[in-house]
Structure 1
Amino acid sequence: MTMRATVGDRIVVASGVVGGAVRDGVVIGCPHEDGSPPYQVRWSDTGEETLVFPGADTLVQHDGGGTEGTRAPRPEPARALTWDVRVSLLEAAGSTTAEAMLKPGPDVGSLRGVGHARKDPGDAEIPVIGDEVAAARALRRLADALLEQAEQDISAQTGHRAHVHP
């Protein structure tokens, strides 16, 4: 299926790089009558206008079309968020501790997961392995904490005990 857009539609593009920003803009020009790409887009974050050849990481939100009196309701805009996870590691005497912290947003408290790894006394000292094991355990516990928070939030909204499958 070929992507189609018209002037006024919203374009949302996910970053091709881990940790990169999600961008959104408005189609201000569409050179093809059938609505096929490329599109001239004005980006909301910079006001810059560029020619966009959308890929699989692109979403088009249509304006509803039709005349003013018969226009369909405009769809809710896509939400674009970036959550950063910080993993801190401390290694001492063949033992590594990792702490993974997530701060989802200004209205949400931080979540934390801690993981430990210990070197077997007979093994060679290869710090990166302890880092990997401790960090993986911390991230797994952080994921569990995030699922638990989601369950609490769902329960608060519905009034019923919730369970989210991992």
Structure 2
Amino acid sequence: MKATTGDRIVTASGVVGGAVREGVIVEVMGVDGAPPYRVRWSDTAEETICHPGPDSVVRPEEPGEAAGAPRPPSQVRSQTWHVQLTLVESGGSTVAEATLVGGSPDQLRAVGHARKDPGDDAVPLIGDEVAAGRALHRLAERLMEAAEHDITAQTGHPAHVHR
């Protein structure tokens, strides 16, 4: 991440349902535009040292804009999606169902199975982990397929999303 004085920074909340913060970079403290940055936050006008992570985006200062001049609020869209895992274990076999709640118009579901080798000790946690991992992997594949379908529908051209 690189920035210059006057650029805007937008940071998502680190907690579910938290506010998105936006501020102006008033000082670049790293080398060649790298963090940390001194930021004046628009919601409180306080200045703090910021070490932005992957939940932050730097928006360059627009041409002709005075550094720190008011700017319309960001067009930031925030959603929360939940994945529900249901696990059932019986007789050395585990079935996991992963359901994506929110996001897609249709709930996406996927199932994963795990079976204990007859010679292994019974450790239900391992079966849970394997079945849940397989269900989540299949759910991720279904989500990528849904994205490809939606891109194809939007553009009219076959789409492939790299995995």
- Paired residue for 1:155? 152
- Paired residue for 2:69? none
- Say how many residue pairs are matched: 150
- Whether contact under 8 Å (1:61, 1:77) holds in the other structure is no
Give a deviation string over 1:13-46, Cα, whole Å, max 9, x none. Answer: 25668x795732233x83x599983122034xxx
> CA, structure 1 residues 52+145, in 2 after alignment: closer, same or farther (shift >3 Å)?
same
Q: Distance in 2 between matches of 1:61 and 1:104?
A: 29
> CA, structure 1 residues 42+123, in 2 after alignment: closer, same or farther (shift >3 Å)?
same
Aligned equivalent of 2:123, options 103, 123, 126 = 126
Gaps of 5+ in 1: 69-73
What's the offset of the Cα at 1:65?
3.9
Give a deviation string over 1:43-95, Cα, whole Å, max 9, x none. Answer: 4xxxx554332224132223414169xxxxx9x74544443222221112211
Q: Distance in 1 between matches of 2:80 and 2:100?
A: 11
- Paired residue for 1:143? 140
- Paired residue for 2:4? 4
AA matched with 1:137? R
Identity between Structure 1 and Structure 2 (%)? 46
What's the offset of the Cα at 1:113?
1.1
Q: Secondary structure at the match of 2:42?
A: strand
AA matched with 1:97? V
- For the aligned residue pairs, the C-alpha RMSD in angstroms reads 3.5
| Alignment partner of 1:97 is 2:95 | yes
- Give the structure-2-normalised TM-score: 0.71
> CA, structure 1 residues 49+101, in 2 after alignment: closer, same or farther (shift >3 Å)?
farther
> CA, structure 1 residues 140+33, in 2 after alignment: closer, same or farther (shift >3 Å)?
closer
Give a deviation string over 1:115-158, Cα, whole Å, max 9, x none. Answer: 01111222101011101110111011101111110121012112
Q: Distance in 2 between matches of 1:151 and 1:134?
A: 26
Q: Secondary structure at the match of 1:86?
A: strand
Q: Secondary structure at the match of 1:38?
A: strand
- Paired residue for 1:83? 81
